[in-house]
Structure 1
């Protein structure tokens, strides 16, 4: 991670070269710099590299994630779009306009709504949904045989109330930045470029709560992501996050991303006593420590008992059910955000069966893994059936994407899939 020294307006309008100088930075170095005190508006995350940014990059404070459906039937249109997106993403992460300024100034290359806001550590991550490969049994672009076995259609989980308009998608764009407008602007420009080839399926803004050097808290007030595998540990990332499969060599160094929109009945949750909330999570609310421990990163002890001989961490607590020890050693990298979409009418599916106007707020669950079949799917199947948290949460949106490896300069995102 580097920091741009140019004024924001000049940086936005001119062609920069900052990204090239940062290509050799390691993940460890980038993570350390991201935690250092600095102006987050000046942060620059390199777009080109071995892996896509926005996966192990330390979380920025805002995201805008969107899924789009392809409406063209031409393979060349898809390749052209991905080439254009690659160039635009590289430019915007450097703080430039999405397209070069025209000499005659007659065609606006960019909406210009982020002038003066700086780069804000912008990362743009792309993913390919199952619909890019086949739809309704049809091989749309001659890519059907290249679909990775790990890119499975997610099963229906117990309690799912998925809304079609918030589910699925052929292409994913995830923009993360330390400014909400910068993140939204990036998705907006890319969607605009795809006019005639793609159409928006769903989009969702999200935010983090908490200091940059601390584990963020979700809207339920608990720290979210404490037990993540360490992103600075290359061996852990290779084991749990980066794809390495024989049937899809073009995905080597990529990852599989699951996105779930989880609505939280905050009105119900807010009436619960603190002790009960901590039993639901299996952690202390304020310190983040596992029940029975003192500090957030103390190891979870699933064998400890209370004075009555019962498990100190309840059998149906979120921590126990999602823990690596309860899932045959499986881990996923959570990189989730909260969302707040105001209020609307809501029918609660759990007692007391309320029907009223409530907050439309919750969690954009985002998880990266080397294979959803051994990561998210078995973990969530257990959670969906037994997690005490289910009385407060409802999964209303869902999608899965194959996020290819990073891009080298002169190429485009997903080039290996298309054999170029």
Structure 2
């Protein structure tokens, strides 16, 4: 009997063929690699030392999804990761998810691409995978390889996390300049994973809230302030090696070249914020709302001077201003690479917008970076009067896929 998986060419052999880019004619995967897409329509290279979608200049749209693995068969999980990798290599280059595409297969079989991105360019799509702590239980023999960096995050003061939209065995971050391209990618990975994974939760995002390259202007969050002015940038090679990329000596050699991802869904009480005076808003952030300059300064990228005082003799930037509490000087130099997104998920039963920031941050070790920074903010930041953390995720994002013979997580399962 020919199974559906074999019919669609998604078995192990099919994955190898897809991974090699064996399609009729010259494959887009064979094009000379670029460091990054040169326009919003162009593809971003899939293969490399690190996964795309981390230091890649942040795109405008997000579809982030966490999955639970519903098989206990290690071989099935590895096969899925191989199939996902082959599909991701195609999707990120503007191709369809499988070699038969949306209309090229047998009429009596379901297509191996859902088709809603037909005719659309690659739109800078990147797909980034991560492994949650729950994947390292007894099911797949991975317990000994669980990184210490995946230690559970502490309970932070004031958070009200919903378990239904937190955690997950796997996550996939899809970023693109076209929301339909990002949604199409996640939809097809979920389709390929049917019977082996189920969607635990997902989040759509729009309007990046950080710049990951010096070629990008600083965007604004839904509170109207420029966000991520002092973010790590892809041009900061030495800082990235120190603060972002995991190394073989960090305790989990299979993660060398990877990074650790923290997600937080942060709801903003925008109606209350909108009734707050401009002066108070600026004092809370420690920056001007228009230019984004530190208080006491003139331009967005002026150095933060926490000792500078105003005519009243008080510091321009208070001890509890957001920029002071989050600054590397307050945390032994710890920094994050942020690439979060705004979200609006309709309104609640009281007619208030369900809106805010889907926070995404990559780092070398959450225990030394995100945790101390967030503890300080949770304890002292006046901004907490206007925000609520409602979901949380922590994932180990492995190194990049080297070539068509490699796959997501190979270093974990075969290393």
Give the structure 1 partner of residue 410 of structure 2: 415
Residues 208 and 339, structure 2, Cα contact 8 Å, conserved in 1: no
Structure 1 position 155, deviation (Å): 1.1
Q: TM-score, length-normalised on structure 2?
A: 0.89
What is the rounded CA distance, in whole Å, between the counterparts of 2:49 and 2:27 in structure 1?
18
Give the structure 1 partner of residue 181 of structure 2: 182
Of the candidates 300, 314, 319, which is equivalent to residue 318 of structure 2?
Answer: 314
Q: TM-score, length-normalised on structure 1?
A: 0.88
Give the structure 2 partner of residue 18 of structure 1: 28
Aligned-residue Cα RMSD (Å) equals 1.7
Residues 191 and 200, structure 1, Cα contact 8 Å, conserved in 2: yes
Structure 1 position 194, deviation (Å): 0.9
Residues 226 and 296, structure 1, Cα contact 8 Å, conserved in 2: yes
Structure 1 position 308, deviation (Å): 2.2
Q: Does 1:235 align with 2:238?
A: yes
Of the candidates 361, 364, 367, which is equivalent to residue 361 of structure 2?
Answer: 367
Q: Deviations over 1:187-220 (max 9, x none)?
A: 1110111111111110000011699831111100
Structure 1 position 18, deviation (Å): 3.3
Structure 1 position 357, deviation (Å): 2.4
Q: Evaluate the alpha carbon distance shift between residue 14 and residue 224 of structure 1 in structure 2; reply closer, same or farther with a 3 A threshold.
A: farther
Give the structure 2 partner of residue 224 of structure 1: 227
Structure 1 position 21, deviation (Å): 3.3
Q: Evaluate the alpha carbon distance shift between residue 271 and residue 243 of structure 1 in structure 2; reply closer, same or farther with a 3 A threshold.
A: same
In the TM superposition, 1:200-211 aligns within 5 A as: 200-208=199-207
Residues 16 and 96, structure 1, Cα contact 8 Å, conserved in 2: no
In the TM superposition, 1:14-413 aligns within 5 A as: 17-23=27-33, 25-26=34-35, 30=36, 34=38, 38=39, 40=40, 42-101=41-100, 103-105=105-107, 106-134=109-137, 139-208=138-207, 213-246=216-249, 247-345=251-349, 356-409=350-403, 410-413=405-408
Q: Deviations over 1:87-106 (max 9, x none)?
A: 00000011111111155343
Residues 19 and 44, structure 1, Cα contact 8 Å, conserved in 2: no
What is the rounded CA distance, in whole Å, between the counterparts of 1:159 and 1:174 in structure 2?
27
What is the rounded CA distance, in whole Å, between the counterparts of 1:90 and 1:14 in structure 2?
16
Match of 1:43, SS state, is coil
What is the rounded CA distance, in whole Å, between the counterparts of 1:222 and 1:19 in structure 2?
40
Residues 125 and 176, structure 2, Cα contact 8 Å, conserved in 1: yes
Structure 1 position 317, deviation (Å): 0.9
What is the rounded CA distance, in whole Å, between the counterparts of 1:404 and 1:249 in structure 2?
10
Match of 2:66, SS state, is strand
Aligned residues: 383
Which stretch of the first structure deviates more once superposed, 160-169 or 305-314? 305-314
Match of 2:411, SS state, is coil
Moved over 3 A (4+): 13-23, 209-213
Residues 259 and 365, structure 1, Cα contact 8 Å, conserved in 2: yes
Q: Deviations over 1:279-321 (max 9, x none)?
A: 1110011111111111111111111112222221011111000
